[in-house]
Amino acid sequence: EIAADVNNPLCGEHGASAVFGPQKGASPEQVQLLDKALGHFADHCARVLPRDVRQEPGSGAAGVLGFAAKAFFAAQFRAGVEVVAELVGLAEAVQGADLVITGEGRFDAQTLRGKTPFGVARIARAQGVPVVVLAGTLGEGYQAMYEHGVNAAFAITSGPMSLEDACARAEQLLTDRARDIARLLSLKP
């Protein structure tokens, strides 16, 4: 069994190259080349292995180690957030809470592919507990998470700043946004 924080397939529109390549600085042309190369590798593997796993959830995870684990060792995929949630007793901890605050470096449409805030929101939603996400940045499509148990999302940065500056000031930025949320919640109707 393997645990991963995303359920992307190896290739295609939601595959490793298309989703993670641009995050690592790959140009659109490089993304196409990478996806084609991964597909070519998967073709070779499919000829000699008992099954083709390139489109299975998690095959594109962890720098495509998910593909290797599935193809060569018949590993089964499990969402990492589920494993951690069980280990720490998250469902029990959320029970009776007034609010859950979770976070992610970049909160965007990719979060729907099994990242931590998605799993936390699913658990909290099942118990009727609202969820707020604090993120380093809010990316394209993050609003889709509002249909999956997230009630609000906030970027922690207070204005334009470099990634290095944001990381260096992360503790203070998180504290400031958490304080803002607490002040908002303390308002009387």
Q: Is the pLDDT of residue 133 over 90?
A: yes
My answer on whether 67 and 112 are in the same domain is no
My answer on whether 74 and 96 are in the same domain is no
DSSP 101: E
Identify whether 84 is part of a domain: no
My answer on whether 108 and 181 are in the same domain is yes
My answer on whether 102 and 169 are in the same domain is yes
What is the structure's pLDDT at 79?
87
What pLDDT band is residue 109 in, cutting at 50, 70 and 90? confident
How far is residue 116's CA from residue 123's CA, in Å, rounded to a whole number? 11
Task: Give me the amino acid identity at 33.
Answer: L
Only one residue has tokens 């805030």, namely 117
Domains identified in the chain, total number: 2
Could you read off the pLDDT of 157-189 as tens digits, one per residue?
A: 988 999 899 999 999 999 999 999 999 988 866
Instruction: Tell me which of 79, 101, 135 is where a domain ends.
Output: 79
- The CATH number of whichever domain residue 160 belongs to comes to 3.40.50.10350
The rounded percent of the chain whose pLDDT value lies above 70 is 99
Q: Is the pLDDT of residue 54 over 80?
A: yes
For all residues of the chain together, what is the average pLDDT? 93
Identify whether 75 is part of a domain: yes
Identify whether 94 is part of a domain: yes
Identify whether 151 is part of a domain: yes
My answer on whether 47 and 98 are in the same domain is no
What is the structure's pLDDT at 24?
84
My answer on whether 123 and 72 are in the same domain is no
My answer on whether 102 and 167 are in the same domain is yes
Instruction: Tell me which of 79, 100, 127 is where a domain ends.
Output: 79
My answer on whether 37 and 105 are in the same domain is no
Instruction: Tell me which of 14, 46, 79 is where a domain ends.
Output: 79
Identify whether 58 is part of a domain: yes
Task: Give me the amino acid identity at 5.
Answer: D
My answer on whether 158 and 108 are in the same domain is yes
My answer on whether 120 and 178 are in the same domain is yes
How far is residue 40's CA from residue 34's CA, in Å, rounded to a whole number? 10
Q: What's the chain's length in residues?
A: 189
My answer on whether 43 and 100 are in the same domain is no
My answer on whether 113 and 171 are in the same domain is yes
Tell me the H-state helices in the chain.
16-20, 28-48, 65-73, 80-88, 90-94, 116-126, 163-168, 170-185
What is the structure's pLDDT at 55?
95
Could you read off the pLDDT of 58-105 as tens digits, one per residue?
A: 999 888 999 999 999 999 989 889 999 999 999 999 999 999 999 998
* Domain span including residue 35: 2-79
Which tokens go with 136? 């380093």
Identify whether 152 is part of a domain: yes
Identify whether 119 is part of a domain: yes
Is this structure's pTM higher than 0.85? no
Of 101, 174, 112, residue with least CA distance to 143: 112
Q: Is the pLDDT of residue 16 over 90?
A: yes
What is the structure's pLDDT at 23?
81
